[in-house]
Amino acid sequence: MSKSVLAIIIKDLKYILRSKQLIALMLLVPLVLTVIMPSIFVIAISNLQVNMEDFKAIIEKVVGKENVELAYQKQLIISYFLNNILPVFFMLIPTMMSTIISSNSFIGEREKHTLETLYYSPIKVRDIFIAKNVVSICLSMILNFAVFIVMTVIINIVLLAVGMPAFIPGLKWLIVILCTSLAITIISTGIVVSKSNKSDSVEEAQQSAVFIILPIIGLVVGQFTGFIMISKLILAIASLIFLIISVMVLKLLSNKNDYYA
Amino acid sequence: MNDKTFAIKIDGVTKRFDQKVAVNNLSLTVNSGEIFGFLGPNGAGKTTLVKMMNGILTPNEGIISIEGINPFEKPAVAHRYMGTLTETANMYEYMTGEENLYFYGSVFGMDKAVLKDRIEELLEAVDLLDDKDKKVGDYSTGMKKRLALARAIIHYPKLVILDEPTSGLDPENARKINSLIKEYVATNNATVFICTHQLRYAQDICDRYGFINKGHIICTGTLSELIEKNSFSNNIHLKAKLGCPNKLLDQFKIQEEIYQIPFTDEEEIAELIKSVVVDGGKVYEARLKRPTLEDVYFSLLNEEAS
């Protein structure tokens, strides 16, 4: 990585971290989705007097019919939520964060007329593109990991309070946090930054991320309804393939960027 | 002569935006070490040419060579030799003057140790040392322009391209910018290409000129060459009350008691004043009026228009 690219990365990181509004915006939805909502869910389920028949079919699919009678059904519902539905949010969060950061990358500089000044420097447009992507991807993944740590701590406090067993993130979580979410972040960032170079507004650039976000939302719905079940093996293989594809797409997009659209 | 003897060589360059031809078959050379003034009205094509010289706009036809390098094929390489200041290329307003210079110096690959001294030297030269910790957003227009000039020359470029460096500035700041440019050229043996329509400042600083209108070159040369090529004459500006009617002087009357008489030899001036006095007239004012860049510029543009 050249000095010039590093200079742009450091400059952009400093700018983003200076903006309390931007940081608050990026953290708000993730904290609601992964800390507040699950905590409410855990408390609600542990205190609820409901007919479990509605959930029985879904749970039987996951743990096997013969195990349902032996286990606490409430524990199973909470465990199902924490290990099958919540991980999907951690694919959504870095995508949302990176969309916010990266949509502003070229447009923000173009609006302030600082992009032209960068163009007059001995740095290729491709390298500016890579720098913007690195900032967005790294920051999104670090924040994603930070939210994951906060979530684990808070959820375990809540589980302890309601007398439920502790939540220990398993292999599925590791795959999602380290591989799947990275692949999704790379591809959504690359698309949005590339669109940001050609768009006139932040909203226009952000719209391009909808093609990544919609399938993830579909996955959440599928997990909730029991329609889509993803095993650890399928998740691991799919994530690795997706990671390789996302890096290749990013490389392709980086070569397509030029000075003016 | 090969491309490397010229700092800039532009050959048959045309640039179209949809139906509009912004630059039309333009050819131009700028010698190494000279300060070249590129003059023309707004919308003439100056900024478009600057962007093509930087390789960030591609011409539809023609070739440009900057220090022997094609800026379209290798823009990043060409930029190492160039420093560009334009009206629309801003610096980061949330950063201080010093932080901006550090950033751009780093982008140009300068070492931290070298950069520290260079920034201090430049801030002193542009008279911004006391304001280095202020955010650029709080700078006045003149301060921003001076900082932009510092940014353009931070990496000791051999070619400096300045697009309207004095526009929006008061006379004091404009003079400061001009002396900075002259000093830079003198100490670094650099070439400067200035686009401007502020002719007074251009005449103060430039060695040679090129006039552009509606995307094409009208003429190029030093001021003396332009005057000679277009047959501009030196004049005597005379304010006098004539003692008796003078048909010769009447044809050069521009206002009541004011005459503008062309001459070729300075001896004619003395003869003219003598003749007025001998005829019983009174001479209130007599001065030489050599054609200025402004006279040449407007005359050429009017000729173009007609």
Task: Provide the CATH number for the domain around residue B252.
Answer: 3.30.1490
Q: Assess whether B250 and B221 both reside in one domain.
A: no
Question: Does residue B7 sit within a domain?
Answer: yes
What is the maximum span of chain A, computed from C-alpha positions, in angstroms?
A: 70
Lowest mean pLDDT among A13-27, A42-56, A115-129, B113-127: A42-56
SS (H, E, C) B130-174: HHCCCEHHHCCHHHHHHHHHHHHHCCCCCEEEEECCCCCCCHHHH
What is the structure's pLDDT at A71? Answer: 47
A141 or A48, greater pLDDT: A141
Residue B58 lies in a domain: yes
Type and span of the H or E element at B13: strand B6-17
Convert the pLDDT of each residue in A32-77 to its tens digit: 888 888 888 888 877 766 566 666 677 677 666 666 654 467 787 8
> Does residue B216 form part of some domain?
yes
Of A7, A113, A120, the CB nearest to B106: A7
Owning domain of residue B210: 3-228
Both structure tokens of A76 = 């199973």
In this structure, is residue B13 part of a structural domain? yes
Residue B303 lies in a domain: no
- Name, in order, each residue with C-beta under 8 angstroms of A132's C-beta and a sequence gap of 6 or more: A8, A12, A102, A105, A106, A193, A196
Is B151 an interface residue toward A (CB < 8 Å)?
Answer: yes
Q: Quickly state the pLDDT bin for A121 (edges 50, 70, 90).
A: very high
Strand partners, B9: B29, B65
Say yes or no: A16 contacts chain B, CB-CB below 8 A: no
| Same domain flag for B195 and B256 | no
B105 located within any domain: yes
Minimal Cβ distance to A3: which of B76, B77, B109 = B109
Residues B164 and B27 both lie in one domain: yes
Q: Cα separation of B229 and B219, whole Å?
A: 9
B199 and B72 part of one domain: yes
Comparing B144 with A218, the larger pLDDT belongs to B144
Does residue B27 sit in the same domain as residue B135?
A: yes
- Mean of pLDDT over chain A: 80
Question: For B34-43, what is each residue's pLDDT tens digit?
Answer: 999 999 988 8
Please say if the pLDDT value at position B8 is more than 90.
Answer: yes
Q: What's the rounded Cα separation, in Å, for the pair A223 and A227? A: 6
C-beta atoms of B90 and A112 within 8 A: yes
Residue B297 located in a structural domain: no
Residue A47: closest CA among A150, A158, A156: A158
Residue contact A122–B108, C-beta within 8 A = yes
Q: Say yes or no: B37 and B129 in one domain.
A: yes
Whole-complex ipTM: 0.84
Q: Are residues B181 and B278 in the same domain?
A: no
- Does residue B261 register a pLDDT over 70? yes
Maximum CA extent, chain B:
78
pLDDT band at residue B246 under the 50/70/90 scheme = confident
CA B86 distance to own-chain centroid: 13
Query: For chain B, how many structural domains are there in total?
Result: 2
- Which of A22, A120, A124, A259 to probe the B interface (max B CBs under 10 A)? A120
Q: Name which of A15, A117, A122 is nearest B89 (Cβ-Cβ).
A: A117
B215 neighbors B21 (Cβ within 8 angstroms): yes
Give which of B69, B86, B66 is closest to B162, Cα–Cα.
B86
Taking a contact as any Cβ pair under 8 Å apart, which residues of chain A between 89 and 118 contact chain B? Answer: 112-114, 116-118
- Whole-number pLDDT of residue A181: 87
Please state the φ and ψ torsions of residue A200, each to the nearest 5 degrees: -100, -15
pLDDT at A80: 81
d(CA B219, CA A214): 61
Q: Which of B182, B213, B228 is the last residue of a domain?
A: B228
Same-domain pairing of B136 and B182: yes
Residue A51: the pLDDT is 63
Q: Are residues B48 and B180 in the same domain?
A: yes
Which 58-97 residues of chain B touch chain A by CB within 8 A? 75-77, 79-80, 82-84, 86, 88-95
Residues B198 and B254 in one domain: no
Q: What is the pLDDT of residue A261?
A: 42
Same domain, B213 and B252: no
Residue of B84, B90, B103 lying closest to A7 (CB–CB): B103
Residues B126 and B268 in one domain: no
Strand partners, B216: B213
Contact B94 A11 (CB under 8 A): no
Q: What percent of chain A has pLDDT over 70?
A: 80
> What chain A residue is nearest to B74 in terms of C-alpha separation?
A124
**Rounded mean pLDDT of B170-174?**
86
Which string of b and e fits B68-106 if b means at least 16 CB within 10 Å?
A: ebebbeebbbbbbbbbbbbeebbbbeebbbbbbbbbbbb
- Residue A117 to residue B54, Cβ atoms within 8 A: no
Query: Which of B58, B107, B110 should be substituted to probe chain A, the one whose Cβ sees the most A Cβ atoms within 10 Å?
Result: B107
Residue of B nearest to A108 (CA): B92
B209 domain-assigned: yes
Instruction: Read off the pLDDT band of B211 (50, 70, 90).
Output: very high
CA-angle at B102, arms to B99 and B105, nearest 5°: 150
Contact assignment for A7 to B84 by CB distance below 8 Å:
no
pTM for the model stands at: 0.81
| Domain final residue, candidates B228, B254, B275 | B228
Question: Which CATH number is B70's domain given?
Answer: 3.40.50.300
